[in-house]
Amino acid sequence: MKKIMLIIILFASVAFASHLPQPTGYVSDFAGILTDTAGLESELRAYEQNTTIEIAVVTISNLPPDQTLFSYGVELFEEWGIGKRGEDNGILVLINKENAPGNRLRIELGYGIQGYITGAEAGQILDNALPYYEQGDYQLAAEIILNGLSEELADYVPGQEPPDDFGLSSDVYMFVIPFFLLWLGLPLFSAYFSVEDKKCRKSLRPIFLILPAVIAVIIVNVFIGFFLAIAVFFALIIFMSGRCPRCGSRKIKCTEHGCTCQKCGKKFKSRRSGSGWILAGAGGFSGGGGGGGFGGGGSGGGGAGR
Question: What pLDDT score was predicted for residue 233?
Answer: 64
> What is the three-class DSSP state of 266?
coil
In this model, does residue 44 exceed pLDDT 70?
yes
Residues with Cβ within 8 Å of residue 235, at least 6 apart in sequence: none
- Asked if residue 285 is part of any domain, the answer here is no
Question: What pLDDT score was predicted for residue 193?
Answer: 59
- Asked if residue 233 is part of any domain, the answer here is yes
User: For the chain, what is the domain count?
Assistant: 2
Q: What share of the chain is helix, strand, coil (3-state, %, to 5)?
A: 50, 15, 35
In this structure, the answer to whether residues 82 and 218 fall within a common structural domain is no
Question: What pLDDT score was predicted for residue 294?
Answer: 80
Please answer whether residues 176 and 218 qualify as being in contact, where contact means their C-beta atoms are separated by less than 8 angstroms. Answer: yes
In this structure, the answer to whether residues 255 and 216 fall within a common structural domain is yes
Give 157's pLDDT tier (boundaries 50, 70, 90): confident
pLDDT in tens, 23-34: 999 999 999 999
> Can you say how many angstroms the Cα of residue 50 is from the centroid of all Cα atoms in its chain?
27
> What is the three-class DSSP state of 170?
helix
The rounded distance, in Å, linking the Cα atoms of 99 and 72 is 16
| Rounded mean pLDDT, 215-227 | 59
In this structure, the answer to whether residues 128 and 268 fall within a common structural domain is no
In this model, does residue 167 exceed pLDDT 50?
no
Print the domain residue range for 42. 2-164+293-305
- Asked if residue 270 is part of any domain, the answer here is yes
Question: What pLDDT score was predicted for residue 108?
Answer: 95
In this model, does residue 295 exceed pLDDT 90?
no
The rounded distance, in Å, linking the Cα atoms of 264 and 224 is 41
In this structure, the answer to whether residues 47 and 106 fall within a common structural domain is yes
Instruction: For the chain, give the longest Cα–Cα distance.
Output: 93
Please answer whether residues 27 and 40 qualify as being in contact, where contact means their C-beta atoms are separated by less than 8 angstroms. Answer: yes
- Asked if residue 193 is part of any domain, the answer here is yes
Provide the percentage of residues in the chain whose pLDDT is more than 70: 54
Q: Which residue has the higher pLDDT, 151 or 302?
A: 151
In this structure, the answer to whether residues 63 and 148 fall within a common structural domain is yes
Q: Which residue has the higher pLDDT, 22 or 7?
A: 22
In this structure, the answer to whether residues 61 and 195 fall within a common structural domain is no
- Asked if residue 267 is part of any domain, the answer here is yes
In this structure, the answer to whether residues 268 and 192 fall within a common structural domain is yes
In this structure, the answer to whether residues 248 and 225 fall within a common structural domain is yes
- Asked if residue 288 is part of any domain, the answer here is no
Within the chain, strands assigned E span 27-29, 54-60, 90-96, 105-110, 252-255, 258-261, 267-268, 299-305
In this structure, the answer to whether residues 86 and 136 fall within a common structural domain is yes
In this structure, the answer to whether residues 116 and 230 fall within a common structural domain is no
Chain-wide mean pLDDT for the chain?
Answer: 75
Question: What pLDDT score was predicted for residue 63?
Answer: 92
CATH number of the domain within which 65 lies: 3.10.310.50
In this model, does residue 4 exceed pLDDT 60?
no
- Asked if residue 38 is part of any domain, the answer here is yes
Give 208's pLDDT tier (boundaries 50, 70, 90): low
pLDDT in tens, 52-108: 999 999 999 999 888 999 999 999 999 999 999 888 999 999 999 988 888 999 999
| Rounded mean pLDDT, 233-260 | 64
- Asked if residue 286 is part of any domain, the answer here is no
